Structure formats: C-alpha cells, structure tokens
Amino acid sequence: MKRIAIDMDEVMADLHKKHLDLFNKNYNETLTADDLVGTRLWKIRPHAADDILAYVDDPTFFRDLEVMEGSQEVIKELSESYEVYITTAAMEHPTSFTAKYEWLKEHFPFLSDLQFVFCGNKSILQADYLIDDSPRHFKDFKGEGILFSAPHNKYEKGYVRVNNWDEVRRYFLS
C-alpha cells in the first residue's frame, strides 16, 4: 500500500478561522480570510505580531478548531486503500501536543494512535505523498508534495494543488 501523510492545521483543522476570530475580537477588527490571500495575519498586522503568534502557544488553542469540511469522510475512505498518517509539526509549539491529540481522537476516532506523527521537520517522514498547506514542508520531503489550498498559499506555484477534500478524493480514489 502507498502511504499518505496528511497535515493537521489548515488541512484537517481550520486554524485560520480561530486565529482571525481571536484577533478580530482582541483588536476590534473585521478581517476575513480574503484579507490573508498571499500572506499571513502577523505580516499584515506587524504591530500585533507577538500577540498573534502567541495565540497558538495557549495549551487549549488547538482543542476546539473546526473540522475542515469533508476531511473526516475522505480520510476514512483513503484509509481503506492507503496507509494514512496524520502528521503535524507540533514540536514547533510543544504546548499544543495534548490539545491536538485530543482533537484528533475526537474527530477522527477511526484512526489509531499509531497513525499520529507529532514532529518538527517533516522531511523525516517516509511517505509517498504529503498533503500540506505549507510548501516549506516539501523542500526535503522525498515523496510528492500536494499543496492544500489556503489563503496564504494562493500564489504558490510548482506543486500539485487540491482546493478541498472532494479534490483530494478525486486525486487519490478516481
């Protein structure tokens, strides 16, 4: 069986929505995902960059993220034909480990703990494919990087791109 590694944040879990909601509430703004096309929140609001980046260091931040539409059904389907591993660069924010683990157990109960990979540098992954929203993870990855669309990566070129989970399904199961 071929192996697919799937990123958690912005691929399975809607991190940007919560990030924007917190920022808008704390700074009395009304930014939307459209304001983040081609950039990141801390880059368009550099005066608040430290606060924005600190949100994800809250040990509970990742616990209640919304599930990306279609991800549960498609990942379950993929796991019938592929070895599926959920991979997250949790070591970049070590306080996130428990919340991410609990989130995965709640929303993807059909996956085993042995299918969760908490790492730093994703180049260590031994998989045929990596679905991720951040092309930096493809740099030294030995398999094929598949870019999952997010506002910040809209202008990235040179990768197979999927815009949603229906497109992931078609790419791997058609």
Segment 36-47, tens digit of pLDDT: 999 999 999 999
The separation between CA 10 and the C-alpha centre of its own chain, rounded to angstroms, equals: 3
Given pLDDT bands bounded at 50, 70 and 90, which one contains residue 91?
confident
Per-residue pLDDT at 90 exceeds 90: no
- Name residue, tokens 């192996």: 3
Q: Active-site residues: which are they?
A: 7, 9
Instruction: Give yes or no for a contact between 152 and 40, defined as CB atoms under 8 angstroms apart.
Output: yes
Determine what percent of the chain falls in helix, strand and coil, rounding each to the nearest 5. Answer: 50, 20, 35
Residue (of 39, 35, 67, 70) closest to 164 by Cα position: 70
Percent of the chain's residues with pLDDT above 70: 100
Given pLDDT bands bounded at 50, 70 and 90, which one contains residue 92?
confident
| pLDDT tens string 22-78 | 999 999 999 999 999 999 999 999 999 999 999 999 999 999 999 999 999 999 999
Residue (of 161, 141, 19, 160) closest to 87 by Cα position: 141
Task: Pick the more confident residue, 121 or 70.
Answer: 70
Query: Strand 129-132 to strand 3-7: parallel, antiparallel, or no bridges (unpaired)?
Result: parallel
Query: Mean pLDDT across the chain, nearest whole number?
Result: 96
Residue (of 29, 52, 30) closest to 42 by Cα position: 52
What local confidence, expressed as pLDDT, does residue 120 receive? Answer: 87
Mean pLDDT of 6-23: 96
Per-residue pLDDT at 168 exceeds 90: yes
**pTM for this prediction:** 0.95
Quick one: which H or E segment has residue 84?
Answer: strand 83-88
Per-residue pLDDT at 141 exceeds 90: yes
